[in-house]
Each structure stands twice: as C-alpha cells, then as structure tokens.
C-alpha cells in the first residue's frame, strides 16, 4: 500500500495477508539498497555524528522503554524531544524553522511532509528490525520507490464513555452530540471531526467530501458545539478531565481507554455502527538531519519486538512489529490488537491523504470560532 494508494482504500485484510507472505529481504530489495551500500552509508555517518537526536513526537512517546535499544547504542546522543499536538502542528513548527532529525506523522500525512520538502528517504537496510514490520505498512511509506516513512504504531479513534454515567441511545457517532450530556463531552481539536461527521451523515467519501457535503458536516458540528465541554489536543488534558469526571464522553484513542481502566473507571470504548476511524503512524527522516545513522538506529529501536510489546502493554496501541504481543491477553482482545483487520473497511476507516486538507482546516476553524 503505497502512500498514493491510500485513496484507493487498501484494507488491513491485505495488510495482514502480505505480512504473512513477505519478508524483510523483499522490503530491502524493493528499496533498491544493497547491504554493502548500507554498510558504507552507516560507516560514513558514524564518523561525523554527534549531539542530541532531535525528535518531534507525540507526548508520551519520550518514554525510554520505546527506544531502549537506541540508548544502549548511543549513550552520548540522548534524544531531545519537541512535542506535536497533531501533524498540522508539526508542519507548522517545521515551517517556523524547527529542524528535527525525526518526526512522527500518521500515514495520511506522508505525502504532505514530502511535498513540503522537509524530509528525505530512509535507507531501509540500516533498520535490521524492518524485516518484522508489517510489509504492507512499510510499503505505505514509499513514494516514487523511496522509503520516506517507517510504520511504528496503529490504533483507533472512537467514542469513549463512562458506562456508569452514560446510556447511549444507539451504538453510533451520535453519542458525540447527545443532548442529554451537555457539558460532559470532549471533541478532538482536529479536522477529522468533519470526517466522523461525514460517516455519521452517510457520505461515500468523508475524507474527500464535496462542498455541499462539507457544508452539512460543518453545520452538524456547529449546531452541536454548545454541548462540548472541551476541544482536546493533549491526551494528558483529556485523561485528567475524564478521570476527574469533568467529561463522560470523548473522542479518544486506545491509550485513553487503557488509562481509564487502570483508574478503575467503568468505561466502554465504543465501536460505532458507522465504523471507527483508524490510523497507522510512523517516522520520517528530517531533510537536513546531521544525525542520519543515529536516526536510523532510533527507528530501529522503535521497530523492535521489545518496544512493540511495551507499547501494546502500556498504551494499548498496536505495533507495526508483527511479533509483538501485550502482556495482558484480555487487553489483546478488548482492543482487537490480535486482529489488524479491525482497522480496515468496514470496521475501521483508515486515515488517508486529504486532497483538500486546507478546505477542511478552514471549515474546522470556523466550527471552533462559531
């Protein structure tokens, strides 16, 4: 699934099927890089690199367990993290002059970062754990035959609610604007709120709505905005609000479900009848990075089975490493980590490139300002 194939909605069924039959050698060969060339590149980079690895990432991913392998290999090049609230925020930081060695966008944004000229391709042969990553996810990061993006984590965006406080009328995205729970609802501050609105309204292409459809999605959100207590951009803010009882219903990620369960709250992570939103996120290499080898080593650490299992156990996100498993088998089932098909059609609507992202952004800004 190349990045430009996302619009054709390649399903996770094909992801899984390819993962079972393809191997790391095919990934390397597809990238056109020999092991000898890779070794030469690694040796050259090693002679020149120094300083802290600059990582532009989501808050929470600075945890050392996710890059422990890197820490052992580069004790004098500890990562320095700058946090992004979403991909638009990350692009804004880079346009303002930030030059990270690595940035962590989801697959629907790969083309945007390439088109902006802020990234360069990886050398796949430098990532030894690549052979264990879902090959179709890996292929999703190729543009014009070059590997611009390495998959790391995947999961869902669905309604989370307190089952002791909320009694849904239907298993639907409509829970996000239930009049009975005015002031107890949280939406995510992102243009994909127009996407779930589009799925609720039954549009065929919610990621590429017509002007008339976008107007209806926007009108729906505007008409229900008065019910919303908060627009969250930080998971910490959301989790604090949910744990305190400030909100009972939220657009949420798997880690939020896991965090609330850990606090012994009675919560349900709803599977809407219209389908969940789903995503695969990964790393891209900064265009002007002076630490190319270290950046590859960091991504390799994230790609390890150990890091993937930690991610699944503690954050309840799926790992791109197909050999990873969470410690708790009940978590495996509850969040469908044992079924990557769940993030594909019709159960999950995979994040993808927005042909008119700027239009969505303008309309979402108008929703918030209304």
Q: Quick one: pLDDT at residue 352?
A: 86
Residues 30 and 167 in one domain: no
Residues 216 and 227 in one domain: yes
Tell me how crowded residue 5 is: count the other CB atoms within 10 A of its CB.
Answer: 15
Residues 330 and 357 in one domain: no
Total domains in the chain come to 2
How do residues 327-358 score in pLDDT, each as one tens digit?
A: 877 766 666 666 666 777 888 898 888 999 99
Q: Quick one: pLDDT at residue 134?
A: 86
DSSP 1-69: --GGGGGGT--HHHHHHHHHH--HHHHHHHHT--HHHHHHHHHHHHHH--S--EEEEETTTT-GGGSHH
Q: Quick one: pLDDT at residue 329?
A: 76
* The model's pTM: 0.74
Q: Quick one: pLDDT at residue 17?
A: 36
- Which positions ≥6 away from 17 have C-beta within 8 Å? none
Residues 135 and 166 in one domain: no
Residues 25 and 135 in one domain: yes
Residues 169 and 77 in one domain: no
What is the domain range of residue 225? 155-276+353-369
336 preceded by cis ω (within 30°)?
no
Residues 130 and 260 in one domain: no
- In whole angstroms, what is the distance from residue 155 CA to residue 157 CA? 7
**DSSP for residue 129:** G
Bridge partners, residue 187, by sequence: 231
Walking along the chain (370 residues) 10 residues at a time, the average pLDDT comes out as: 35 36 38 48 59 96 97 96 94 97 96 96 97 88 96 94 97 98 97 97 97 98 98 94 98 92 95 93 96 98 96 90 84 66 78 91 97
Residues 205 and 247 in one domain: yes
Residues 365 and 253 in one domain: yes
**DSSP for residue 105:** -
Residues 32 and 108 in one domain: yes
DSSP 201-259: TT-S-GGG--HHHHHHHHHHHHHHGGGEEEEES-HHHHHHHHHHTS-SEEEE-HHHHHH
Supply the CATH number for residue 331's domain: 3.40.190.10
- In whole angstroms, what is the distance from residue 267 CA to residue 130 CA? 36
Residues 197 and 319 in one domain: no
Q: Which two tokens stand for residue 344?
A: 């594909």
Q: Quick one: pLDDT at residue 159?
A: 97
Q: Which two tokens stand for residue 54?
A: 């600059």
Q: Quick one: pLDDT at residue 337?
A: 67
Please provide residue 56's backbone torsions phi and psi, each rounded to the nearest 5 degrees.
-95, 110
Question: Residues 56, 86: contact at Cβ < 8 Å?
Answer: no
How do residues 26-59 score in pLDDT, each as one tens digit?
A: 333 444 444 444 544 544 444 579 999 999 999 9
Q: Quick one: pLDDT at residue 335?
A: 64
Bridge partners, residue 249, by sequence: 161, 185
Tell me how crowded residue 175 is: count the other CB atoms within 10 A of its CB.
Answer: 21
**Element (H or E) spanning 296, and its range?**
helix 292-302
Residues 33 and 149 in one domain: yes
Q: Quick one: pLDDT at residue 2?
A: 38
């Amino acid at each position: 699934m190349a990045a430009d194939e996302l619009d054709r909605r390649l399903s996770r069924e094909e992801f899984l099927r390819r993962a079972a039959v393809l191997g790391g050698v095919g990934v390397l060969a597809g990238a056109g890089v020999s092991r000898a060339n890779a070794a030469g590149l690694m040796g050259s980079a090693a002679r020149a690199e120094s300083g802290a690895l600059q990582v532009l990432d989501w808050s929470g991913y600075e945890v050392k367990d996710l890059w422990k392998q890197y820490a052992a290999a580069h004790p004098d090049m500890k990562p320095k993290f700058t946090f992004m609230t979403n991909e638009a925020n990350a692009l804004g930081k880079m346009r303002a002059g930030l030059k990270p060695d690595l940035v962590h966008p989801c697959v629907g944004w790969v083309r945007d970062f390439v088109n902006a000229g802020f990234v360069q391709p990886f050398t796949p042969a430098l990532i030894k754990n690549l052979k264990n990553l879902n090959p179709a996810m890996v292929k999703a990061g190729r543009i014009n035959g070059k590997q611009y993006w390495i998959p790391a984590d995947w999961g869902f965006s669905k309604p989370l609610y307190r089952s002791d406080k909320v009694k849904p009328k239907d298993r639907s995205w409509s829970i996000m604007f239930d009049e009975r729970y005015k002031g107890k609802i949280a939406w995510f501050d992102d243009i994909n709120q127009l996407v779930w609105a589009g799925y609720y309204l039954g549009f065929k292409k919610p990621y590429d709505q017509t002007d008339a459809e976008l107007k209806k999605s926007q009108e729906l959100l505007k008409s229900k905005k008065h019910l919303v207590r908060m627009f969250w951009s930080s998971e910490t803010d959301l989790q604090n609000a949910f744990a305190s009882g400030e909100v009972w219903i939220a657009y949420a990620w798997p880690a939020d479900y896991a965090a609330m369960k850990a606090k012994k709250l009675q919560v349900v992570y709803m599977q809407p009848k219209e389908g969940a939103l789903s995503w695969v996120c990964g790393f891209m290499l900064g265009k002007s990075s002076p630490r190319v080898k270290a950046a590859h080593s960091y991504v390799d650490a994230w790609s390890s089975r150990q890091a993937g299992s930690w991610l699944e156990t503690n954050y309840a996100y799926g790992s791109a490493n197909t050999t990873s498993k969470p410690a708790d088998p009940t978590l495996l089932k509850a969040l469908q980590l044992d079924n990557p098909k769940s993030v594909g059609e019709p159960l999950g609507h995979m994040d993808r490139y927005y042909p008119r992202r700027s239009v969505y952004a303008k309309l979402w800004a108008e929703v918030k300002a209304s």
